[in-house]
Amino acid sequence: MTKLLRIKGTRLWASLMEMAQVGATPRGGVRRLALTDEDRRGRDLFAQWCREAGMTVSVDEVGNLFARREGTDPDAAPVLVGSHLDTQPEGGRFDGVYGVLAALELVRTLNDAGVATRKPVEIVSWTNEEGARFTPAMLGSAVFTGSTPLGEALGKCDADGVTLAQALEQSGYRGARAVTGRVLDAYFEAHIEQGPILEAHGTTIGVVSGGQAIRWLDVRVSGMAAHAGTTPMPYRKDALFASAQMAGELEQIVARYAPAALVTIGQINIANASRNTIAANVTFSVDLRHPEDAQLDALERELRTAFARIAAERGVSVEIDTDWNSPATPFDAGCVALVAQAAAQLGYSHESIISGAGHDAIHLARYCPTAMVFIPCVDGLSHNEAEEALPEDVTCGAEVLLNAVLARAGVAVAGQAAAA
């Protein structure tokens, strides 16, 4: 058995806290939207740390940032490890960045121990994972794995009409490296759970078996604008009240798929809103999730039927488009076993868990063998400035990641540092 390695938890924590100052908010969170100046500064700091660790840094055409530590086998495909540095508008200090900096600590530890791996180890920070500035989410990994064409991604616009291509140029992170066609040995990603299960169970490590299905819908309800003071209630075609009824009924529908189904209406907009005008056009988003594709399909069918009925009853029209669809995705059994093995050998309590959130690992799992490591987050809170993780859990997760990746990459030489 390969000797277990331990990381310097205080060093990893210090790196996390220093990165948290880039885009820091007054309430203790972080705002680093993809390819903004804050994201650029975060990327620059990470790249600097990677070069200091003897790694070679490169950027591809969609802005994915890679740092490579060479292995002793020049023909071996790399083991890729990472996550993302971008955040939600009012994000926390650990979502995404933990996986990137845990990977950096992995390399620093290999350097400290003088361990060379047979396969190269590369760290990646994916572009626009959050989807907070450009939609859909996980855009960089989608292009990398070929599920989204590069040209389509580059044409995506933010709320101000800035395209992804323009944002890449403005940030200085539109690289020359080809974004597709790379062969990977495997991909590993560490992340906070973003939910309450591990903390509630008192479990240190979540061994992620895969990701649940996710579907994003865009709903447009069209009624008729009219004066708020002169139009009797029975004569109204109010798009907002219709939307509100749809939302209420959707909550009842999802209850029939409990406890696994989840639904969220995260965005709503009234076009040309005015205090004394009946809403004519309302758009809102629907986020549907379930571990089983068939159940998600059934839930969506009920949604569409209910929305059409409500629209007819209220004399409005409704259109529903699918913005994004991510099927349920199992992770590679061999890589998952390495995570469980590392946790057991290190003596950390662990359990199998399904990822409720979308991650770049979902795209990668359809491209190469993939696994994830979860650690608890306080109160299960994420996508919030109060997001928190305990230093001891941060350390444990990084040690599991390190030893799982090392088992996959293979120890080539002990006592001699790998070539940078």
Per-residue pLDDT of 360-382, as tens digits, reads: 999 999 999 999 999 999 999 99
pLDDT on residue 420: 29
pLDDT on residue 3: 81
Contact of 269 with 282, CB cutoff 8 Å:
yes
Amino acid at 102: A
pLDDT digits (tens, 9 = 90+) for 288-343: 999 999 999 999 999 999 999 999 999 999 999 999 898 999 999 999 999 999 99
pLDDT on residue 2: 61
| Residue 418: band (very low, low, confident or very high) from pLDDT cuts 50, 70, 90 | very low
Distance CA 143, CA 410 (A): 29
Distant-in-sequence, close-in-space partners of 305: CB < 8 Å, separation ≥ 6 = none
Return the CATH fold of 213-326: Alpha-Beta Plaits (3.30.70)
pLDDT on residue 413: 55
| CATH number of 9-212+328-414, picked from 3.30.9.10, 3.30.70.260, 3.40.630.10, 3.40.50.2020 | 3.40.630.10
- According to CATH, where is 3.30.70.360 located in the chain? 213-326
Joined tokens for residue 408: 């996959």
pLDDT on residue 232: 98
Distant-in-sequence, close-in-space partners of 60: CB < 8 Å, separation ≥ 6 = 66, 144, 175, 177, 178, 179
| Residue 357: band (very low, low, confident or very high) from pLDDT cuts 50, 70, 90 | confident
Does the structure show a pLDDT above 90 at 110?
yes
pLDDT on residue 358: 82
Instruction: Please give the residue that has the higher pLDDT: either 285 or 357.
Output: 285
Amino acid at 77: A
Alpha carbon 77 to its chain centroid, in Å, reads 24
Alpha carbon 149 to its chain centroid, in Å, reads 19
Does the structure show a pLDDT above 70 at 414?
no
Percent of the chain surpassing pLDDT 90: 95
Question: What is the number of alpha carbons within 13 Å of residue 30 lying toward its C-beta?
Answer: 29
Q: To which residue do tokens 């939609």 refer?
A: 135
Mean pLDDT of all residues in the chain? 96
Question: What pTM value is reported for the model?
Answer: 0.85
Distance CA 86, CA 104 (A): 17
- According to CATH, where is 3.40.630.10 located in the chain? 9-212+328-414
Distance CA 364, CA 355 (A): 14
Alpha helices by DSSP H, listed for 193-283, are: 197-201, 239-255
Contact of 117 with 72, CB cutoff 8 Å:
yes
What would the mean pLDDT of 134-149 be, rounded to a whole number? 95
